[in-house]
Amino acid sequence: MPNRATALNNTTTLQPKRPALFSRLGAFSLVIGMVIAFFISQLIGVYIAGRLLLPATKSMTIGDVFFFGSNDGTVVSASIIISCILLMALSYLIVRVKSGDIREYLAIKPFSLVVGIGMFGILLVFMIGSQALTYLLDKSPLVFVDPLYQSVSSVWLLVFAMVIVAPIYEELIFRGILWSAVAEQFAATPRSKQRGALVASIVTSFIFAVIHLQYGIYEITTIVVLAFIFCYARIKSGSLVLPMLLHIINNGVAMWQYLNQVS
C-alpha cells in the first residue's frame, strides 16, 4: 500500500499542466501588436492631451497638435498618463479574453524582501557604473527632457508621469504580458522553462531598448543592460512588482540628478 507522500506525489504528477495562454503564432502576433499599440497609445495620448491643453487648438491641424504637443511638458505628461490607462486596459482585456488569471499571468504578487534587497544592490551597482561611464564619455542622456521641463505647468506633474506612471505601464507590457507570452512557449520541462525565461528576457529587453527612440546608441545599450536587470528581478522574485519598483527607483534617481543640474 503506498504511503501518504507517494500518494501526494502521484496526485501532483497527475495534475494537468496549465496550458499556454498563447500559441507560438499568437505570442509572435502579440509581441508585434503590443509594440504597435504602445506607439499608437502614445499618439492618442498626445492628441487627446494636446486638444485639451494646448491654446487655440481649434485653428490647429492634426499635425500641429502632434508637433506642438510632443514638445510641451504638460501635454506629454498628460499623454503618458493617458497611454498608461489605455495599455493597462488593453492588457487586461487580452488576458481576460484568453480566459487567463490576470494576477497570475502578469505576476502581480508580493516578493521576498531578501530578493528585493539583493536586486536593489544589483541596480545600485549598475547606476553607479552607468553614471561613471556617462561622466567619462561626457554624455547627456536626459537632454530630451529640457523642452519638457521648460514648458511644463508643474514640475511635479512631469516627475509623476516619468518617474511613476511610465515605469508602471512599461513593466506591465515588457516584463508582464509580453515576457509571460514568450516564456510560456518553453514551459514543457524545467530545463526548457529556464530557456524560455532567457529567450523572453532577450526578446523583451531588446524591444524595450529599441522603442526608446529619443536616445542614442550609447543610451540604448545602457537600457538593454537595465532591461536585463528588470527581467532578472522578475525571474528571481516571480513577481512583476519588484521590477516595477526598481524601474521607478532608477527613473527617480535619474530625474533627481537632472533637476539638480538645471536648478
Tell me, what DSSP letter sits at residue 137?
Answer: T
pLDDT given for residue 226 in this prediction:
96
Contact (Cβ atoms closer than 8 angstroms) between residue 119 and residue 36: no
79-122 pLDDT tens trace: 999 999 999 999 999 999 999 999 999 999 999 999 999 999 99
Contact 57, 51 (CB under 8 A): yes
Query: Is-contact 242 119, C-beta < 8 A?
Result: yes
- Three cell numbers written together for 8: 501526494
- pLDDT score, position 259: 92
Of 122, 81, 91, the residue nearest 242 (C-alpha): 122
pLDDT in tens, 110-135: 999 999 999 999 999 999 999 898 88
Mean predicted lDDT score pLDDT of the chain: 90
Asked which of 31-35, 80-84, 234-238, 254-258 is least confident by mean pLDDT, the reply is 254-258
Give the pLDDT confidence score for residue 156 in this predicted structure: 96
Angle (CA) 102-95-83 rounded to 5° is 90
The C-alpha atoms of residue 115 and residue 123 are separated, in whole angstroms, by 12
Residue 36: how many other CB atoms lie within 10 Å: 10
